[in-house]
Amino acid sequence: MTKSDHYQTWQETTLKKSLDKFKERRERFETTSGIEIPRLATPPEPDSAYEEKLSYPGEYPFTRGVQPTMYRSRFWTMRQYAGFATAEDTNKRYRYLLANGQTGLSVAFDLPTQIGYDADDPIAQGEVGKVGVSISSIKDMEQLFDQIPLEKVSTSMTINAPAGVLLAMYIAVAKRQGADIKQLRGTIQNDILKEYVARGTYIFPPAPSMRLITDIFQFCSKEVPYWNTISISGYHIREAGSTAVQEVAFTLANGIAYVEAALKAGLNIDDFAGQLSFFFNAHNNLLEEVAKFRTARRMWARIMRERFKAQKPSSWQLRFHTQTAGSTLTAQQPENNVVRVTLQALSAVLGGTQSLHTNSMDEALWLPTEKSVRVALRTQQVIAYESGVADSIDPLAGSYLIEHLTDEIETSALDYIARIDEMGGAMQSIERGFMQNEIQNAAYAAQQAIEKKEQIIVGVNSFEVKEERSLERLVFDPAIEAVQRAELKHLREARDGEKVNWYLGRLVDAAKRTENLMPLFIECVENDVTLGEICNTLRGVWGEYVAEGF
């Protein structure tokens, strides 16, 4: 009897009685992307294509990981996203996290900073320091990293439209510390396309936005070689409601657009490709998420080698940061979020992430407290030191179901990318509203499933209880805005106003030409030109992007 005959017999006999019970619970077993889960995954027939798809960890196409030893040699970077109120307040949180075992910093900026306004701009009123730290000048950046040696710590900054300016501040502060900027390690998000699609913190139209991105690629390839110049983000695409398949497809499509823009700007692919990084979401469907990460690595390797003809193995590698899913956190029974975050973090580790942020249990309610952040960090440490999953280079090697899901996600994601290519690329698909509409439809379908109880959310549409919340709460101080305004007033009075105006005039001229803007950004911030002054000057030259209705 062949293996397939044996499986057929097993289906018809052993499973016959239980199938009716399965149907009572659910008509169809599938992932969040609609991929059907087989009753029992069986081995595929090995062939040369099968072997090439898997390979070994550290070898093309990196399905099983980008490093040959993975966590046996070094754990992923434990990087808790933090930022609130003033630079001084956030600096205290960073030092607390580092003292408790965090191995990398991740900066959350407030909304005015994200869209290029100073804390004393009228448009910033009521938002200063609320959803992140307020950074208007190099003085704020110095305070943010006070007593933190930038040459020795890896820093991620979630900033997009004004990413070049914030990176310039970071480099300027490192220089003041006496650091060798060629040794700086970290990441700026710098991903404007997903802002147009899913998040909304854009400033400039697409053409100058892409110029800023490629200027950063070019500058860092020579001056800050260990810095990740972009974190191409699927995280926010997933938070907006996409499926796992859409997250992979749209993220890689955006990645293709950035590579094409850099090549058009005259860069050599192997000079910048190794500094590209990615940022993915980790949701609750553990096996689908693991397969998603493997799929993304394999697809990107092939895109870089076959589509763009990159020659260096480092150019083929998809290295990524993961954050657990904020959209899955519930205000109801918030302690359950610890379990959700644990599952999500485990999927990222099993999927081979390079760094990880774990959300805090109370984030659906308010800014996380020190205690809840510590629990989130301890979740990573328990997985690393106690679970045993980091002891094997690829602990799910040989899982027929994982391999099946990986293939299915890849097939569907490639179909999306082909459709986007037919439209002319990611930017054109965004302008037509294609990505946005696909995400909106997926989000609607997911919400309908929850409301119909086809998808159970524990504590929300099932297993509900009446409860009184007893969690500790972090209270926001509204006086923070006045403090920031006063600091900026003092800065403007103390600095050399004529020199500031001279630099802003240089910026106008440079923005009209094609020179790389990064060196000028660094000079500007070193001479106390503020974030808002730089961005408003560029607004005057380039205008602002206004999204059209679809």
Q: 277 and 67 in contact (C-beta within 8 Å)?
A: no
pLDDT at 16: 54
Mean pLDDT of 340-368: 95
- The residue among 80 and 4 whose pLDDT is bigger is 80
- What are 494-537's pLDDT values in tens digits? 999 999 999 999 999 999 999 999 999 999 999 999 999 999 99
Least confident of 50-54, 178-182, 451-455: 50-54
pLDDT digits (tens, 9 = 90+) for 207-243: 999 999 999 999 999 999 999 999 999 999 999 999 9
What is the pLDDT, as a whole number, of residue 468? Answer: 79
Spatial distance between the Cα atoms of 255 and 60, rounded to a whole number of angstroms = 19
Secondary structure string (H, E, C) spanning 241-255: CCCHHHHHHHHHHHH
Contacts with 34 (C-beta within 8 Å, 6 or more apart), sequence order: 243
Residues 6 or more apart whose CB falls under 8 angstroms from that of 263 comprise: 269, 308
> Which residue has tokens 């999306």?
416
Mean pLDDT over each residue of the chain, to the nearest integer: 92
Q: Please spell the DSSP secondary structure of 325-338, one letter per residue.
A: -GGG--SSSTTHHH
Q: Residue 177: what pLDDT? A: 97
Q: pLDDT for 374-384, tens place per residue?
A: 999 999 999 99
Angle at which helix 244-264 crosses helix 434-451, to 10 degrees, equals 160
Task: Say how many C-beta atoms besides its own lie within 10 A of residue 6's C-beta.
Answer: 11
- The lowest-confidence range among 1-5, 78-82, 434-438 is 1-5
Residue 201 reports pLDDT greater than 50: yes
User: For the residues 457-486, what does the mean pLDDT come to?
Assistant: 84
User: pLDDT grade, residue 354 (50/70/90)?
Assistant: very high
Query: Helices (DSSP H) in 124-162: which residue ranges?
Result: 138-144
Alpha carbons 233 and 241: distance in angstroms, whole number: 14
Determine the straight-line distance between the first and last CA of the chain, rounded to whole angstroms: 58
Look at 53 and 421; give whichever has higher pLDDT: 421
Confidence of residue 550 (pLDDT cuts 50, 70, 90): very low
The answer to whether residues 80 and 102 touch, using CB atoms and an 8 Å cutoff, is yes
pTM of the model: 0.91
Q: Residue 24: pLDDT above 50? A: no
pLDDT-derived band of residue 474, with 50, 70 and 90 as boundaries? Answer: low
Residue 370: alpha-carbon gap to chain centroid: 23
Q: What's the confidence (pLDDT) of residue 368? A: 87
State how far the Cα of 390 lies from the Cα of 352, in Å rounded to an integer: 10
Q: What is the pLDDT of residue 263?
A: 97
Q: Is pLDDT at 47 greater than 70 in this prediction?
A: no
Confidence of residue 22 (pLDDT cuts 50, 70, 90): very low
| Amino acid 5: pLDDT | 66
More confident of the two residues 52 and 149: 149
Q: 163-191 b/e with 16+ CB inside 10 Å = b?
A: bbbbbbbbbbbbeeeebebeebbbbbbbb
pLDDT in tens, 150-169: 999 999 999 999 999 999 99
Q: Are the C-beta atoms of 203 and 162 separated by less than 8 Å?
A: yes
On the question of pLDDT at 68 being above 70, the answer is: yes
Average pLDDT over residues 82-95: 89
- Put the strands of the sheet holding 185-188 in their side by side order: 227-228, 185-188, 154-158, 104-108, 77-82, 355-357, 320-324, 276-282, 230-233
3-state secondary structure of 200: coil
**Cα–Cα distance list, 540 to 82, 210, 543 (Å):** 32, 17, 6
- Written as one letter, the residue type at 10 is W
Query: Does the structure show a pLDDT above 90 at 83?
Result: no
Q: What is the residue whose two structure tokens read 């930022």?
A: 83
Q: How confident is the model at residue 3 (pLDDT cuts 50, 70, 90)?
A: low
> pLDDT tens-digit profile of 292-320?
999 999 999 999 999 999 999 999 999 99
* Helix, strand, coil percentages for the chain (3-state, nearest 5): 55, 10, 40
For 196, which DSSP code? I
85-94, 99-108, 286-295 — most confident range: 286-295
| Position 44 pLDDT exceeds 60 | yes
The proportion of the chain whose per-residue pLDDT surpasses 90, expressed as a percent, equals: 81
**What whole-number percentage of the chain has pLDDT above 70?**
93
pLDDT exceeds 70 at position 18: no
Q: Which DSSP string do the residues of 460-524 spell out, in sequence order?
A: TTBS----------PPP-THHHHHHHHHHHHHHHHS-HHHHHHHHHHHHHHHHS-S-SHHHHHHH
Alpha-carbon span 31 to 117, nearest angstrom: 42
